[in-house]
Structure 1
Amino acid sequence: MPNLERFVIEQSAPGERMDVFLRRRYPAMSRMAIQRLIEEGFIRVDGRRIKPTHTPRAGETVEVEWPEARPAAVRPEPIPLEVLYEDDHLVVVNKPPGLVVHPAAGHESQTLVNALLHHCAGRLSGIGGVSRPGIVHRLDKDTSGVMVVAKTDTAHLGLARQFAARQVAKVYHALVCGTVLHDQGSIRAAIARHPSHRKCMAVCEERGREALTDYRVLERLPDATLVEARLHTGRTHQVRVHFQYMGHPLVGDLVYGRRANRRLAERYGFDPPRQMLHATQLTVVHPATGEPMTWEAPWPHDFDETLRRLRAGPVIT
């Protein structure tokens, strides 16, 4: 791929920083990685070096020089992967529950990235940085399902643009507490960082970012509902927060639905091992061929087993 990318800013963004502006354009990159590229002179405006705090102005030409990918500091590990599709440009996997996507504090190994480095023999896009090679989007540790990973920088940029432009179709299956009354509906509620619990998100119309989830009921159970959710935005914890907002937190989600899950556990005599959320389907346009592609991932065993237990009805009435 060309090492240099240029684009013209179409609209000024007063009050916004350049690193935040570019984070929206390149969502696969962390803000820290963008700041590092700016500070090292790889990102310039009208040919001159800037600071991350530079205000984007209409008509400015932004140059992004992608540096050669450094060898990953993360070690390959022979962790089994369920590969749904693979070619020279990307690999699609069914991520199991409990697997962290990329190394971070407390999870320096045994991550999806470690597994991918082994599976792909190190041939992954370097744009995400040494700790996130190939990673274009993420699933929570305890969320399972379809993930697409870029093997080349060209594929990485192409996929990242689709995610940023909301051109990716994302379908999830979830078990939620209680009976969802309407057969289908939409949840439009802005999401922001929780004001006091910094690892959590919350609905906040004043300072939140737009979030839209469509849903339909697949099956009603005695004390829970199996739903399908289609995400039109990609906010952190979006499905979990939106269904909590509806009064139906996810089964097994002790972060957003501890009280409801405590009642469920008392009636059914078991505790689900995680939040029952599975990314069942993903549709993107292939970044090299331009063809739409859809992949589906079957439910993992714990999702099936939890559904079976809930279908059987409560043991304590």
Structure 2
Amino acid sequence: MSGKTAEESGKRLDAWLAESEPGLSRSRWQGLIKNGKVTVNGGSVKSNFKLRSGDFVEWTIPDPVPTETLPENIPLDILFEDRHIIVVNKPAGLVVHPAAGNENGTLVNALLHHCTDLTGIGGEERPGIVHRLDKDTSGVMVIAKTETAMAELARQFKKRETEKEYLAIVRGALHPSSGYIETTIGRHPIHRKKMAANIKRGRRAVSNYKTDEKLKNASLLRIRIETGRTHQIRVHMAFLKHPILGDKLYARRQPTDTWPDRQMLHAAKLSIIHPNTRKKMTFQAPLPADMKALLEQLRINPSEKSQLPYETQSPQTRG
């Protein structure tokens, strides 16, 4: 059990705890207060209790309970790691989180094996999945190792303070070669596994694209997304009639297509503010071998290659 005396009056109990003991998020403190793990002057109170100067607050934080997900020794391509976050280059084909039909062999299983210093998220000993990539999308992902890091990164993603850039090989040549797409995106009214653009009750989705290289019946695009809707880039490219090559859900193969085994979409770059140091960090993942091979195959003039700044795995730090 730990305790501390309030020095100011008028602060809500949950807010005061989150500021005084930042190892846990405010929502986690609210759960502990509700479950009787926090007292003020020896008595139980609610989260919105207003503290007075001299009030003595005591709390007990239970040890995180083991997750039901089992650790598995799955290799990880780690771009950066400290005691707050881990950044990985996720390969195509790896599911992020266990779900029906994918109970094991996921990124979470791999992280549970690799990370021996997880402090718990929401009282459970598990990594904090802040954002996701589709199974067949490769590239940069950041994962929280503490509850505080989870809360701060989730806030950054929600407030659009992160910067996300993708590379995609799509069908055809876009006119104009760069542009801005804004639609709503929501569940497809018929095909429930798909999302669709311009759905009446959908959520706003914004993508910016630029053609990096024109290819044979295809283009290499650099795409920056301002929002993070499910399947956003795949939906937007299909909406523009330039679907991502290999996308079995949103594109039908045409005779002019070179059809790879998976959608040619790669999360190449991610910038965040480190949840502890408050420094801006930019992580880059090099283009995977299958996308490189397809680019070589589709190049009109092999001597004229686009300059891709993603051939290093070293994180860049600014701050």
Give TM class, smaller chain.
Answer: 0.7 to 0.9
1:56-71, aligned counterparts within 5 Å? Answer: 69-71=64-66
The correspondence of residues 189-228 of structure 1 with structure 2, limited to 5 A, is 189-228=183-222
2:254 matched residue in structure 1? 262
C-alpha distance in structure 2 between counterparts of 1:236 and 1:129, whole Å = 26
User: C-alpha offsets along residues 228-249 of structure 1, whole Å, 9 cap, x if unaligned?
Assistant: 1101000000000001111100
Give the letter for the 1:301 counterpart.
Answer: A
1:5 to 1:135, Cα distance in 2 relative to 1, 3 A: farther
- Show the counterpart of 1:287: 275
- Deviation string for 1:112-132 (max 9, x for gaps)? 0111111112626423967x6
Question: What residue ranges of structure 2 are gaps of 5+ in the alignment?
Answer: 3-12, 17-24, 37-44, 49-59, 302-319
For 1:256 and 1:135, the matched residues in 2 are separated by 26
Structure-1 separation of matches of 2:242 and 2:279: 37
Structure 1 residue 295: Cα displacement: 0.3
Bigger Rg, structure 1 or 2: 2
Partners of 1:66 and 1:206 in 2: CA distance: 45
| Matched residue type, 2:179 | G
Q: Is the 8 A contact 2:64 2:119 kept in 1?
A: no
Distance 2:238 2:199 in 1: 15
Q: Which residue of structure 2 lines up, in the alignment, with residue 135 of structure 1?
A: 129
Which residue pairs with 1:169 in the alignment? 163
Whichever residue aligns with residue 188 of structure 2, its letter is H
Q: What are the superposed Cα offsets for residues 218-261 of structure 1, whole Å, 9 maximum, x if unpaired?
A: 00112001001101000000000001111100010011011xx2
- Answer whether contact 1:95 1:145 (CA < 8 A) is retained: yes
Tell me what 2:294 maps to.
306
> Which stretch has the larger CA shift, 190-199 or 68-77?
68-77
Q: Find the residue that maps to 1:299 and give its secondary structure.
A: coil
Q: 1:299 to 1:105 in 2, by over 3 A?
A: same
Counterpart for residue 79 of structure 1: 74
Residues 125 and 156, structure 1, Cα contact 8 Å, conserved in 2: no
* 1:207 positional shift: 1.0
- Would you say how many aligned residue pairs link Structure 1 and Structure 2? 259
Q: Give yes or no for contact 1:66–1:127 (8 Å, CA) kept in 2.
A: no
- Structure with greater helix share of residues: 1
* TM-score in terms of structure 1 length: 0.75
Aligned match of 2:263: 275
2:97 alignment partner in structure 1: 102
Following TM superposition, by how much is the alpha carbon of 1:70 offset from its aligned partner in structure 2, in angstroms? Answer: 2.1
Instruction: Identify which of 245, 249, 261 aligns with 1:251.
Output: 245
Question: Would you say the 8 A contact 2:86–2:142 is kept in 1?
Answer: yes
Q: What TM-score do the two structures reach when normalised by structure 2?
A: 0.74
Letter in 2 for 1:218: D
Structure 2 residue aligned with 1:22: none
Q: Structure 1, unaligned stretches of length 5 or more? A: 8-25, 30-36, 50-64
- By how many angstroms is 1:308 displaced? 1.7
